[in-house]
Amino acid sequence: MNDRLPAGGAPVINESGIPIQPLYTEADLEASGGTAMLGRPGEYPFTRGIHPLMYRKQPWTMRQYTGFGNAADTNARFKYLIANGQTGLNVAFDLPTQCGLDSDDPLADGEVGRVGMAIDTLRDFEIAFEGIDLDRITVSLTINGAAAILIAMYLAMAERRGFDVRALRGTAQNDILKEFIGRGTWIFPVEPSVKLVVDTIEYCAAHAPKYSPVSVCGYHIRESGANPAQEMAYAFCIARAYADEVLRRGVPIDEFAGRLSFNFNIFGNLFEQVAKFRAGRALWAKIVHDEYGATKPGSMWMRMIAGGGGSGLTFEQPELNIVRGAYYALISALSGAQTMALCCYDEAYTIPSEHAQRISLRTMQLLIEEMGLTDTVDPLGGSYYVETLTNQMRAEMERIIADVDARGGIVALVGDGSIQAQVSAQAYARQMDLEAGRLRKVGVNCYRADAEEDPKVELHSYDETDAAAQVARLAEVRRTRDPAAVAAALEGVRRAAAEGVNTMPAIVTAVKAYASVGEITAALTAVYGRYREPVKF
């Protein structure tokens, strides 16, 4: 196309498949669609940012992913991070909680409190958030399969502490479709799983209108092998799948679309990521406006958390991950993220130490305080390269979405394992490229350490007595609660599921009676059954 440009050696193609030229000019920008989708910050289609002043008005929320052991351990770490200037909380739950199992379930043995905080009943939530001002510190719950139960617990806990639930802000991850693609904390089959997500959206729209019940995740799809354009395109397909179901219940788009949020990955080429986010913002606005007929600007905002990218970090020379984390934070700031969370440098080894968490937090703080990242909105806007790439990434995402639609839609493609097989094939190809040195990774396939040095990473020790204490607390709650109220509430959950009505009111009643995560999950599986994973290559 640009034969007037000098040759730049071997062709460069970004991960999303777009060829990169040695130089970009106004002519390239025009050829890619010009500035038709650019607009001004805070105005449709929001390529440059969802707010007119962005970080000039308020920097991004800092929300490191945290949780381990029991509720008291996690409460102490929360308070440490808040004391160090963190402005939100992002809660990690252990695997039994995420899979809907109580801490005393035989399947939970050895896993209680290991990779996150163990939650069995409302009592644990009361301890976990004790002393934390939920109006000032917004909380994000990284929970999916069991999200309806944990959202109900969070709202019940806040209400009991005297917060106005109608004004309560916060987020639940609650994106089950991506759990079937990557991450794997599914419980129920695909259809009832989606129904539960829709129950939470419908319930929150009516009862907790400031709460974001879903954070649609491209993040884990990317970790599973998707390229950046696929990551965002698949996330939008998933968000549309939820929106379609909410609309079918008669909730108007402008009553819930504004509370849908997104979680994206950041590792890879800096400019490709920035273009991905700018392109995605405009594309999501266009989808919500053109396809769904939303009229409120807030409905069209692609609000996002970004900054993490576990697959970009390395086990080798882990201190390099501090540097990578700083670049990821920079990308996130250049991309207009609402919330930032960084992976800690020691994550390939362990649950992050307090020290590693503080380094991540300080990384974000020094971008704000020292580097001028909050001075002006969309600082890369107007770059021929970034604007051209933004147009090209948007076109590629639109192509992928059209392809998914033509193949039967995202729910069908996740249900039969097609998307899983595709991203897994790409993950394999990527690993082969890494091992052959075609894809360069510092410390891994180039600039390796001469001898394997001791990485001096402080390993988080798993405390078996914590797990025993958690089981003991659950037993005590079971002993002191009203058994008749629990039984009636669990029957209410089962009936709501069987009748196909919104299950959230019944789940809220059950958590308030101190029914456990495992008991409520069992009431739901009695009706819905359990997911059977299609193992497809």
Partner 1 sequence: MTDTVQAKPIRVVLGKPGLDGHDQGAKVVARALMAAGMEVIYTGLRQTPEAIARIALEEDADVIALSSMAGSHLNFCQKLKPLLDAAGLDDKLWIIGGNLPRQDHDALRALGFKGIFATGARLDDITAFIRGNVGVHQ
* Residue 59, number of CB atoms within 10 A of its CB: 18
Q: Which of 432, 468, 488, 526 binds partner 1 (CB under 8 A)?
A: 432
| Nearer to partner 1 (CB atom), residue 75 or residue 97 | 97
Nearer to partner 1, 336 or 415 (CB): 415
Three-state DSSP class for 172? strand
Q: How far apart are CA 308 and CA 459, in angstroms?
A: 21
In sequence order, the 6+-apart residues with CB closer than 8 A to the CB of 347 are 310, 313, 321, 356
Cα separation, 313 vs 298, in Å, equals 34
Q: Residues 8, 19, 52, 110: which binds partner 1 (CB under 8 A)? A: 110
Q: Does 476 participate in binding partner 1 (rule CB under 8 A)? A: no
Q: What angle do CA 43, 333, 440 make, to 5 degrees?
A: 125
- Cβ neighbour number for residue 407 with a 10 Å cutoff: 12
- Please pick, from the candidates 133, 435, 482, 499, the single residue that binds partner 1 as defined by CB under 8 A: 435
- Residue labelled with tokens 């944990």: 150
* Out of 47, 74, 98, 392, the residue judged to bind partner 1 by CB under 8 A: 98
Provide φ and ψ at 216, rounded to 5°: -70, 130
* Residues 238 and 216 sit within 8 Å (Cβ to Cβ): yes
Nearest-approach distance from CB 425 to partner 1, in angstroms: 8
Among residues 31, 115, 247, 322, the one that binds partner 1 under rule CB under 8 A = 115
CB of 68 to partner 1, least distance (A): 10
What residues numbered 295-314 form the site for partner 1, per CB under 8 A?
A: 314
The burial of 106, by beta-carbon neighbours within 10 Å (0-12 exposed, 13-18 middle, 19 or more buried), is given as: exposed
Per CB under 8 A, the segment of 205-213, 257-265, 363-371, 422-430 that binds partner 1 is: 422-430
Q: Which stretch binds partner 1 (CB under 8 A): 59-67, 107-115, 300-308, 495-503?
A: 107-115
When binding is defined by CB under 8 A, the residue of 13, 23, 53, 107 that contacts partner 1 is 107
Residue closer to partner 1, measured from CB, 250 or 537: 537
Nearer to partner 1, 145 or 170 (CB): 145
Question: Interface residues for partner 1 in 164-183 (CB under 8 A)?
Answer: 179, 182-183
Q: Verify binding: residue 190, partner 1, rule CB under 8 A.
A: no
Is 42 within 8 Å of 50 (Cβ atoms)? Answer: yes
Question: Is the Cα torsion angle 328, 330, 335, 340 positive or negative in sign?
Answer: positive
Q: Does 498 bind partner 1 (CB under 8 A)?
A: no
Question: Residue 98 CB, nearest distance to partner 1 (Å)?
Answer: 8
Residues 76-95 that bind partner 1 (CB under 8 A): 95
Q: Of 247, 138, 234, which Cα lies nearest the Cα of 180? A: 234
C-alpha distances (whole Å) from 1 to each of 7, 10, 21, 36, 49 are 12, 16, 10, 21, 31
**428 binding partner 1? (CB under 8 A):** yes
Burial classification of residue 13, based on how many CB atoms lie within 10 Å of its CB (0-12 exposed, 13-18 middle, 19 or more buried): exposed
- By rule CB under 8 A, what string of x and - marks binding of each residue 313-332 to partner 1? -xxx----------------
State in angstroms the smallest separation of the CB of 427 from partner 1: 5
| 99 near partner 1 (CB under 8 A) | yes
Contact 107, 156 (CB under 8 A): no
Count of beta carbons in the 10 Å neighbourhood of residue 295: 11
Quick check: 108 binds partner 1 (CB under 8 A)? yes
Q: Is 350 in the site for partner 1 (CB under 8 A)?
A: yes
Applying CB under 8 A, the residues found at the interface with partner 1 are 95-96, 98-99, 101, 107-111, 114-115, 179, 182-185, 223-225, 314-316, 348-350, 424-425, 427-428, 431-432, 435, 444, 459, 462, 533, 535, 537
